[in-house]
Amino acid sequence: MSIKKFIPEIIAAIVFLPMLFVHSCANTTQSPTGGDKDTIPPLIIGIDPLPGTTNVPCVKTKIVFRFDEYVTIKNSKNIFLSPPQKKAPKSRIREKYLIVQFEEPLDSNTTYTLNLSDAIADNNEGNMFPGYTYVFSTGPSIDSLLITGKVLDCNTLRPVKGATVLLYKDLADSAVFLHRPDAAVITDDWGWFCLPYLADTTYRLYSIKDAAGDNIYDPATDLIGFVDSIIRPVTRVIDTLPEMLKYDMTDTLMCEARKVDFKMRLFREKPSRQFLANRARLADRAGYFTFNAPYAWIDSIWVRGYTDSELITQFNILQDSLEFWINSRKPAPDTLHVFVNYRMTDSTGILVPELDHLKLPMPEGKRVFQRIQRKNIKLEDTTCVFKINAAPETVEQYGFELMFNFPIIYENFDSLDFRYLNPKQKEFQGAVTVERDTANLRRYIIRPKDKLLPGYEYTLRVPHNAFRDINGFWSDSTKVKVALPSDDKLSTLKTEMTGVTGKIIVDLQDDKRKSVLRSYIIDSDTTLLFPYLKEGKYAIRITDDGNRNSIVDTGSLLERRQPETVIYVTFDGKDLLDIPASAEVEQTIDVQTLFEQL
């Protein structure tokens, strides 16, 4: 008897038998109708056409999955076809059957996979089907190679769930912008992916956080990551490979053991097309405008009715936003006419000179000197307004912050009065230094010259008329008091940084890696102190500040530039450092070794 008649049964056995043994995967019987709660997920017991079928018609194709119990579709978006089409597959439930049909004709001579992940649940208890990858071909054979990898957030290095991984035979940089990929898959809870049944050829590999769900990269809305080099898969698909099996996402050991061929870091790309995007007037003599891309090239700026010497401007650190102020006593017009001569990207992608005329009316209710509103004028409307900030936990590192609403044109920092009161209530006069923020002309840092001591109370007083701003208003007097934290349960972390060969940014973060609690910028070996820490878990992030601009820079796809390298320090194999109460914790961090291990 010919073995050919048994081929369908052999294929079915190859597909279904591994599903019976995968950790936390599936059952072989109907869900129970009584007794204990059903915790067993549904199981596929039949597929038509069978997995691995070739020469599938390109039109009017449907795939039918038969389950061992009644099921429902929890998330139709997770019934994912690769290569993806413009329209997603259409799916419906009929009794115990899942029926998937395609809205568009399939491509000829193409291997397709249909992934069912986080899509199907049983109808009674909602137990999720663990997932399955179904393969078929519209040609005479099934492609047989695979690649695996992980997608991470570039800032936190946490895995990104639900990212779309895109594989292109078109090696041009523009492919990811213009058309859908030759293969695609969605990352799981661990940011992990497997792209199976690939042809033996070369590819470009990308990952995106696809806001529109169209499998095409849109820089305006999507995050992106990419592999620098052209890749070629080498691993052959075998059904029993750990990477081909489906796992319970709570099984850390099994999920982390899966092979990772490639890692990609998702980042928000700065736009490259330059034009003047937004503008606004903030006050009588103040406004701003923003550009679509960083590092705007401005040839000149002027405001009708005012001289160049009366105009004060300030770029932000990325030079994609510019604030301006007018240092003049004469009444401001209802509408400011601002002229910006800058370089704009034309239709060919070249920067060309452009002159924009910005008409900036005063926002309703903002004008100060309207006679009919004089009775409603507040103190801040006729005063040089500023704030003093000083936090007990960080005043030693960051000092006192003096922030003005408007640039000042007169300053008398010598009149600042800094005093400290010792534990015996004896008062002393102290000295301070003044530093103007190079990135913000309205911000000043006041630092005591002497070391701050626990148990002392420190007072910084600003006297009346110490400053005058561009509106001609004088400052009022104010003072702020601060004392170092005295809670004996607070702890100190001392980190000895060695092997520092370039400029790096060292951030102490919370256990979620979301907030930066303290930050240092260093370019040589040193010891960093993080005092007054509450009991808890902390992360230490180190960023290689390659361009030495003191910020964590993003990447660029067209320039093939990855985001600046970020490393999280591990402590005895753990991602977080456990700080107990009332402790002095010391750590030595070899920066050079950390970066060499990447």
pLDDT in tens, the chain (598 residues): 444 444 444 444 544 444 443 433 333 334 445 556 778 899 999 999 999 999 999 999 999 999 999 999 999 999 999 999 999 999 999 999 999 999 999 999 999 999 998 899 998 888 999 999 999 999 999 999 999 999 999 999 999 999 999 999 999 989 999 999 999 999 999 999 999 999 999 999 999 999 999 999 999 899 999 999 999 999 999 989 999 998 989 999 999 999 999 999 999 999 889 999 999 999 989 999 999 999 999 999 999 999 999 999 999 999 999 999 999 988 899 999 999 999 999 999 899 999 999 999 987 765 544 444 555 667 777 899 999 999 999 999 999 999 999 999 999 999 999 999 999 999 999 999 999 999 999 999 999 999 999 999 999 999 999 999 999 999 999 999 999 999 999 999 999 999 999 999 999 999 999 999 999 999 999 999 999 999 999 999 999 998 888 888 999 998 899 999 999 999 998 999 999 999 999 999 999 999 998 8
Give the model's pLDDT for residue 5: 43
- Residues 320 and 46: their CA atoms lie apart, in Å, by 58
Closest by Cα among 517, 537, 532, 510 to 583: 532
- Residues 444 and 434: their CA atoms lie apart, in Å, by 7
Contact 463, 415 (CB under 8 A): yes
In angstroms, what CA-CA distances link 125 with 32, 69, 93, 121, 576?
11, 11, 17, 8, 37
Contact 298, 321 (CB under 8 A): no
- Residues 140 and 138: their CA atoms lie apart, in Å, by 7
Half-sphere exposure of 420 (CA within 13 A, CB side): 18
3-198+236-250: CATH, from 2.60.40.1220, 3.30.479.10, 2.40.340.10, 2.30.30.760: 2.60.40.1220
Task: Classify domain 491-596 by CATH architecture.
Answer: Sandwich (2.60)
- Residues 16 and 239: their CA atoms lie apart, in Å, by 10
Tokens 């695609």, located at residue: 184
Structure tokens at 548: 């030495």
Say if residue 130 is preceded by a cis peptide, omega within 30 of 0.
Answer: no
By CB neighbour count within 10 A (0-12 exposed, 13-18 middle, 19+ buried), where does 149 fall?
buried
In angstroms, what CA-CA distances link 60 with 77, 100, 183, 270?
21, 11, 21, 43
| Domain-wise residue ranges, the chain | 3-198+236-250, 276-361, 380-483, 491-596
- Residues 327 and 573: their CA atoms lie apart, in Å, by 57
As a 3-state breakdown, the chain gives helix, strand, coil percent values, each rounded to 5, of 10, 40, 50
Do the domains at 276-361 and 491-596 have one common CATH topology?
yes
380-483: CATH, from 3.40.190.90, 3.30.110.70, 3.40.50.720, 2.60.40.1220: 2.60.40.1220
250 C-beta neighbours (distance < 10 Å), count: 9
Secondary structure element (H or E) that encloses residue 225, with its range: strand 223-226
Whether domain 276-361 has CATH 3.30.70: the reply is: no
